[in-house]
Amino acid sequence: MIDFLIAKLHDRDFMIQLLIAIAVFATVLTIAMPLVAGDDLGRRMKSVSVERNRIRERERARLVNGERVSIRPTPKAWMLSIVETLQLTKHLAQEEARGKLVQAGYRGQGPYVAFLLFRLVVPIITFLAALAYFFLVNDMGQPAMVRGLLALFAAYVGMQLPMLFLKNQIQHRQTSIRRAFPDALDLMLICVESGMSIEMAFRRVAAEIGTQSIPLAEELTLTTAELSYLQDRRLAYENLAKRVDLDGVKAVCMALIQSERYGTPLANTLRVMAQENRDIRMSEAEKKAAGLPPKLTVPMILFFLPCLFVVIMGPAAIRLMGSN
């Protein structure tokens, strides 16, 4: 089987056909993706509406029956049983992971239980896969001790994969929020100057900014809810800063806290913060544009220059071959 695959990889006609098939599939997928993509914002808004109705029904049941009903999402029973049986909260728990889960948009006990379970399962899978590869497929000319150490290293990498996944999700979420936050501040400034309260401004901006950044709309909606039921409004702004973990958002939250405490004009503060966040977004775009030429050097050498040489020197070479 291995020899067959190696022979196929060295077959020029097969590789050309494979690359053509991949290119055709990528082209069809690119054209068809906008047609089959669903309305993510509509789906999330519908789920929020359904969850609101569920919460309303639970609260009515609690008031009627006098029972306490938790509205936090509960983990699946089999996941929770495995975590409790193996005591993963004691051996694999990380306080950093709870904050990372919230920053990635995963709230409640269910995602945390799933995270602990994946921290147990993924290292076992990577360890067994590494053992099967090093001992059955390719021994790499190394003794059994070295291959065992490589399998243990694969298990360590597998243990870090869930945290790497969280960091990747946080980065994507922060990028979306960073790009839309200056526009959200402009909208918030318009709402405040028109006479709206800060709660109504947050709610209105969350409804409008959802088409540009769904994570930012979720965070603003959650902040609106916290402003409504928390006794200390300062905690709502601090929670927003912790969940987003961006310097621009932290500065705005600090300005809002000072405005609540000292009664400073909120419109002027939002105007200054919007301009600063817009300047930060522009500087990041300029930094990416400045780093583009070095990144294009290798693709130009590998792909553009050979084609250019063929186009320029091809007719001359054909003419010389015809004259001979």
Sign, CA torsion 291/292/295/297: negative
Q: What is the pLDDT of residues 32-53, one digit of tens each?
A: 776 665 555 566 556 655 655 6
Angstrom CA distances, 193 to 55, 227, 228, 268, stand at 34, 20, 21, 10
Q: What is the pLDDT of residues 257-274, one digit of tens each?
A: 888 888 777 888 888 888
**Backbone phi, then psi, for 139, in 5-degree steps?**
-85, -10
Residues 6+ apart with CB under 8 A from 156: 123
Q: What is the pLDDT of residue 1?
A: 61
Q: What is the pLDDT of residue 95?
A: 65
pTM: 0.65
Q: What is the pLDDT of residue 45?
A: 58
Q: What is the mean pLDDT of each run of 10 residues along the chain (324 residues)?
A: 69 80 84 65 59 60 50 59 66 70 81 81 89 82 84 88 89 89 88 86 87 87 86 87 88 86 80 84 85 84 83 83 74
Separation of alpha carbons 246 and 120, rounded Å: 31
**Backbone phi, then psi, for 127, in 5-degree steps?**
-65, -45
Q: What is the pLDDT of residue 78?
A: 63
Separation of alpha carbons 297 and 61, rounded Å: 65
Separation of alpha carbons 43 and 41, rounded Å: 5
Tell me how crowded residue 280 is: count the other CB atoms within 10 A of its CB.
16
Domain locations along the chain: 173-286
Q: What is the pLDDT of residue 308?
A: 84
